[in-house]
Amino acid sequence: MAEAPVTYRGTVYPWQCDHIGHMNVMWYVGKFDEATWNLFTEIGLTPSYLREGKSGMAAVQQNITYKRELMPGDTVMVRTRLLEVREKVLRYVHEMSLVEGGEPVALCELTVVHMDRAAHKSSALPPVVAERARALLAA
């Protein structure tokens, strides 16, 4: 995924680690979530669009594969690749890797649905968002 855009960079802090001494699973999820919001902004699902348009995004499936422990002080980055763009649905994968050496440490594949928050049901992605997402898919 070396060509995929970087959607997150961060550090593992000691308070993110559990009794075994490595980063707890809840923090992997949090870092992947931050990468998701950066991806959304890149394709036009900006915070202002989501607030003002009364729209939202709902994760309907998330699968995480852990490949290696992360320790305090490790610096990581997440690259994200779109896998599928449908009328109301995006499917993408995040790959978290060490900045030092580039070793992959975890993968997270998500399926998300565009929502009309007022109607509490799925709705079509705005055309400009679908177009931007497809451009990343093609790349």
- Bridge-based pairing of strands 121-122 and 89-98 is unpaired
- How many residues comprise the chain? 139
User: Is residue 33's pLDDT more than 70?
Assistant: yes
Give the integer Cα–Cα distance in Å for 49 and 132. Answer: 15
Task: Quick: pLDDT tens for 77-103.
Answer: 999 999 999 999 999 999 999 999 999
Tell me the pLDDT band of 139, cut-offs 50, 70 and 90: low
pTM as predicted: 0.94
pLDDT recorded at residue 14:
97
- Bridge-based pairing of strands 55-66 and 104-116 is antiparallel
What's the CATH code, domain 6-138? 3.10.129.10
pLDDT recorded at residue 138:
66
Give the integer Cα–Cα distance in Å for 90 and 85. Answer: 5
Mean pLDDT of the region 118-131: 96
> For residue 79, which of 58, 104, 57 has the smallest C-alpha distance?
104
